[in-house]
Amino acid sequence: MSWSTIRLGDLIEIKHGFAFKSKFFDSQGHYIVLTPGNCYERGGLKLRGDKEKFYSGEIPENYLLNEGDLLVVMTDLVNSAPILGGALIIPENDRFLHNQRLGLVEITDRTKIDKLFLFHLLNTTAYRGQVRGSASGATVRHTSPGRIKDCRLTIPNDMQVQRKIGETLTNYNDLIENNRRRIQLLEESARLLYQEWFVHLRFPGHERVKITDGVPEGWEPTILPEVIEVNPRTPVEKSKEIWYVPMSSLSETSMTANTAVFERRTKHTNVKFQKNDVLLARITPCLENGKTGYAYFLDDDEVACGSTEFIVLRGRRVPSEFVYCLARSYPFRENAIKSMTGSSGRQRVQSACFEKYKVPLPPRHILEEFVLVVRNNFDQIRNLMAQNARLAQARDLLLPKLMSGELTV
């Protein structure tokens, strides 16, 4: 099998998107303006739920994306995993708009390169390294169509081989994406139940319970520090090698974390936590964007450390599942966001905002019933994330070997 080194610009063109700057809705509308945040670190379309930007203005038809369109990220994100140069493909849908920070890839010679193969090629370290090496910008890295087109990569000359490579790697991505959808549904179910019982106060038997000043009869009127520890002390042996969890590993929409970017460290940060603790981003824009994690990835007796921009929450009189759902609730987050102080772009949550935050404590039997329902969801999410970690590891091992010809299909 023969291979050739090509310049991407000899096979593709890249078209800039439109500068959508107004008429956005945060959580309604039909057309989603895609941004770099809609690309996973390893490539692929990432839907962000209520974090999407929905556009309500007149639609410029030239920037309405079609099924199968291939896009590349032109601008990196702040405080997130590097995605510059990453690629995504539009699914069967008519609701996505092409933002100027993404480039639309058009293949000019379809006899030389297959689109699905090209998608995976654009997510290799060989390509990403060239893009990052030529990028500009101190705080936020960005690239241009010309720089991407100047990348030189080696590809198989046989189109059939390209198609087989693309299909093999896509099978892994499809399994991972199916698991992501299941995780999303499981978490949404748990959070909706929390909201129904503990925000709207429609818990089992609520019809027979009198509510006074927002506290149902039989519930204890408490403030957050009485039921949840904020930044609890978690000792660990000095210089012991433990996991370090960066801010970039947390998801904006779910409890999941990208364990592939964790590091082993002997020098610990002051932010330490244990299994099932909740990690809340305290810095802008991470908190507003939704970065919140659940330390499902640790063993029972394990301690990890993390970004100094985390606030650690640990249940004292309530279960960890309750703590996580509380941390994801709108009233809790709004209270934290309103407390932020500091210079523009570096504002942080003030711990004092939790001191008087009201958390009516339900009777034990209601908490136990809540846990009985949602713990199964949390356990399934934990298992699905473990599956995805193994699938991603296998895919990432295959990707460079297939793309270099070390392995054949």
Asked whether residue 312 carries a pLDDT value surpassing 80, the answer given is yes
Closest by CA to 342, choosing from 320, 303, 379, 309, is 309
Asked whether residue 1 carries a pLDDT value surpassing 70, the answer given is no
How many angstroms separate the CA atoms of 39 and 88, rounded? Answer: 6
Chain-centroid distance of CA 129 in Å reads 22
For the segment 156-178, what is each residue's pLDDT rounded down to a tens digit? 999 999 999 999 999 999 999 99
Q: Are 89 and 43 in contact (CB under 8 A)?
A: no
The pLDDT mean for the chain works out to: 91
Q: What is the pLDDT of residue 252?
A: 87
Which segment of 117-121, 255-259, 341-345 scores lowest on mean pLDDT? 341-345
Asked whether residue 278 carries a pLDDT value surpassing 60, the answer given is yes
Q: What is the pLDDT of residue 27?
A: 54
Q: What is the pLDDT of residue 22?
A: 61
Contacts 24+ apart (CB under 8 A), 295-301: 296/255, 296/378, 296/381, 296/382, 296/385, 297/257, 297/259, 297/385, 298/243, 298/273, 298/274, 299/275, 300/275
How many angstroms separate the CA atoms of 180 and 87, rounded? Answer: 18
- Percent of the chain with pLDDT strictly greater than 70: 96
For the segment 333-375, what is each residue's pLDDT rounded down to a tens digit? 999 999 999 877 789 999 999 999 999 999 999 999 999 999 9
Closest by CA to 148, choosing from 71, 96, 65, 46, is 71
Q: What is the pLDDT of residue 52?
A: 79
| Strands 242-245 and 303-306, sheet pairing | parallel
What phi and psi values does residue 272 have, to the nearest 5 degrees?
A: -120, 150
Domains detected in the chain: 3-156 (3.90.220.20), 158-203+361-409 (1.10.287), 222-359 (3.90.220.20)
Q: Determine whether 319 is exposed, middle or buried from the number of CB atoms within 10 Å of its CB (0-12, 13-18, 19+).
A: middle
Chain-centroid distance of CA 156 in Å reads 33
Distances (CA, A) of 340 to 323, 324, 334, 345, 356: 21, 21, 10, 11, 16
- pLDDT category of residue 260 using cuts at 50, 70 and 90: confident
Q: Are 33 and 20 in contact (CB under 8 A)?
A: yes
How many angstroms separate the CA atoms of 170 and 181, rounded? Answer: 16
Q: How many CB atoms lie within 10 A of CB 108?
A: 11
| Strands 263-265 and 24-25, sheet pairing | unpaired
Q: How many CB atoms lie within 10 A of CB 398?
A: 18
Query: What's the CA dihedral at 135, 137, 139, 141 to 10 degrees?
Result: -30
Closest by CA to 349, choosing from 254, 268, 231, is 231
For the segment 193-226, what is each residue's pLDDT rounded down to a tens digit? 999 999 999 999 999 999 999 999 999 999 999 9
